[in-house]
Amino acid sequence: MSGIDRRRFIVLSGLAGLGAWMRSASVLAVETDAQALSPRNLLRSPRFAQTPFTLGVASGDPAPDGVVLWTRLATEPLEFGGGMPAQPIVVNWELADDEAFGRVLRRGSALAHPELGHSVHVELEGLAPGRPYWYRFNVAGYATVIARTCTLPGEDADLERVRFAVAGCQQYEEGYYTAWRRIAEEPLDFVFHYGDYIYEGAANTSPHRKVNGQPFVNLRNHVGPQIYTLDDYRRRYAQYKTDADLQAAHAAMPWFVTFDDHEVDNNWAAGEDQDGTPSAVFLLRRAQAFQAYYENMPLRRSAFPRNGHLQLYRRARLGRLMDLHLLDTRQYRSKQVDMRNREEVQSPARSITGAAQERWLFDGLADATPRWQVVAHQVSLGNYAREKGDAVVTSDDQWSGYLASRRRLLEHIQQVGFKNVVTVCGDAHRHYAGDLVQDNADSGVISSEFLATSISSGADGLGIDAEARSTLAHSPYLKATTDRRGYVVCSVDRDSCIGDMKILDRVMVPDGKLESFARFAIEHGNPGLQQA
């Protein structure tokens, strides 16, 4: 996809109409008529002492005929309310054929509502498939940078290749976002962000703090205490989004996003947190976190939070080459259990996806149309073990803590028999490349997994440390691991899926050196990682 689409533009057609949101939900609408853009409380002539576009722009959830364009207004991003008046404001947008904006193809206006943190989601339709576009926003004499996005190829398109990055876990205090700058420079079709876009904790300024067993002082501190309210979450997103490297990656290409735990609270599961808060109380916090997540991500109206729920699992088709199945392994999962209680760990009554999402995923993986199936999720499907004290342990928060779910998924992949499934994920703050086998049977290699290390969480890391050596010793199907920071670039063509595990030597200083730690290939129809 990258090579073909960047060498030529596909002729535009059918561009007469503007994309529109559902008129039945005016708070979500991309308003294009004068009446919709003129509520009684509209701020009709906004004036700002400085740019309200401090949080950058983004695009996401591309489809063959459209994409979502996003921005959020904030003149003072670290203040509650972002320095914005508590009134809706008209924001203008434009979409062009080229980076120089020599030919504007679309233009329109949308309301930035205070109820939505003055965020704007423009959901475009009627675009040409498989080609780049450039966009920008403006209001009150201020304009955003010109950003690039692209549509997906048509569903019947024969593609040479798809290239995408897998990245996440970007603890603001623990490193520069150099990895995002490098991702912005890569020739990629999209980014998959697997979660932990923000971290919810207060700044840890203890003089006794350690990271990787060494004394550690934050590179930069979180503003404010532990976050609980909508205003708290909005301000935390604003702090993260002021980072120039992160803004550059958003402006370079469209993203598919999902959340993990820190967008709400560490290790939350469905309606429960890890602190024993009454579920009814925690769900109030979760609902506010969900709203802030929607406000700050380039998501479609189908993800708009309703009744405390956020619809995030979804599917994208990239021609006949690849289906991308995006999961949500937080909102529907059973509570974690003590891993020493093997009966509970293996109980078929417990699930990491929930029954409805599991059926949806199984239906998608049974489709013979795509050459490759990529499952994009949050936490490791690989059953990785390591020594902890005198015991050998696996994680209660990953699929290893939900063995019935894990067994059903791998059994389904094996029974379908296409031998074309790859999974990509993150969360562990270290790279893993491993083959996937059943834990309770001699199944042989069923699939393979690339788990991306963190952007910054865990600071500089130690490379092949004691935990890496222990995990390699106790996980026979794990091929490589390191705790350096970075990301994974996946390159998919008809014959192979290659995962390139990129690492930085340092993230506690700017512009760390980027290199490839390891590259593995999966041959179509022949599951199992091979050195590439």
Q: What residue spans in the chain does CATH classification 3.60.21.70 cover?
A: 162-531
pLDDT at 28 over 60: no
Task: Please state the separation of Cα 488 from the chain's center in Å.
Answer: 13
Q: Using one digit for the tens of pLDDT, what is the confidence trace for 459-506?
A: 999 999 999 999 999 999 999 999 999 999 999 999 999 999 999 999
The one-letter amino acid at 435: D
Of 416 and 214, more confident? 416
User: What pLDDT, in 10s, does the model give residues 238-273?
Assistant: 999 999 999 999 999 999 999 999 999 999 999 999
- Most distant CA pair in the chain: distance in Å? 70
DSSP 8-state symbol, 512: P
CATH class of segment(s) 2-150: mainly beta
pLDDT (mean) for 328-334: 98
Q: Kindly give, in sequence order, each residue whose CB lies less than 8 Å from that of residue 97, ignoring residues fewer than 6 positions away.
A: 9, 12, 103, 104, 105, 133, 134
Q: C-alpha distances in angstroms, 379 versus 295, 299, 450, 481?
A: 24, 21, 11, 15
Pick the CATH number of 162-531 from 3.40.50.720, 3.30.1600.10, 3.60.21.70, 3.30.920.30: 3.60.21.70
Residue 12 has pLDDT above 70, yes or no: no
* Average pLDDT of span 149-156: 97
pLDDT of residue 9: 29
Q: What is the pLDDT of residue 26?
A: 32
> Which pLDDT does position 16 carry in this prediction?
26
> Which stretch of DSSP H or E encloses residue 365?
helix 355-365
pLDDT greater than 70 at residue 391 = yes
Q: Outline which parts of the chain fall under CATH 2.60.40.380.
A: 2-150
The 10s digit of each residue's pLDDT in 161-190 is 999 999 999 999 999 999 999 999 999 999
What's the confidence (pLDDT) of residue 232? 98
Contacts 24+ apart (CB under 8 A), 185-188: 185/252, 186/489, 187/2, 187/6, 187/163, 188/2, 188/163, 188/164, 188/252, 188/253, 188/489
Virtual torsion, Cα 182, 482, 241, 219, nearest 10 deg: -110
pLDDT on residue 427: 98
Please list, in sequence order, all residues whose beta carbon lies within 8 angstroms of the beta carbon of residue 39, skipping any fewer than 6 positions away: 88, 111
pLDDT digit string, tens, across residues 301-321:
999 999 999 999 999 999 999
In which band, very low, low, confident or very high, does the pLDDT at 66 lie, cut at 50, 70 and 90? very high
Taking only the tens place, the pLDDT of each residue in 77-135 is: 999 999 999 999 999 999 999 999 999 999 999 999 999 999 999 999 999 999 999 99
pTM summary value: 0.94
SS3 label, residue 343: helix
How many CA within 13 A on the CB side of residue 211?
Answer: 22
pLDDT band at residue 17 under the 50/70/90 scheme: very low
Whether 38 has a pLDDT exceeding 90, the answer reads no
- Give every CB contact of residue 396 below 8 A, 6+ residues apart in sequence: 336, 337, 338, 339, 345
* For the chain, percent of residues with pLDDT exceeding 70: 93
Buried b (16+ CB within 10 A) or exposed e, 61-74: bbbbbbbbbbbbbb
Neighbouring C-beta atoms of residue 461, cutoff 10 Å = 26
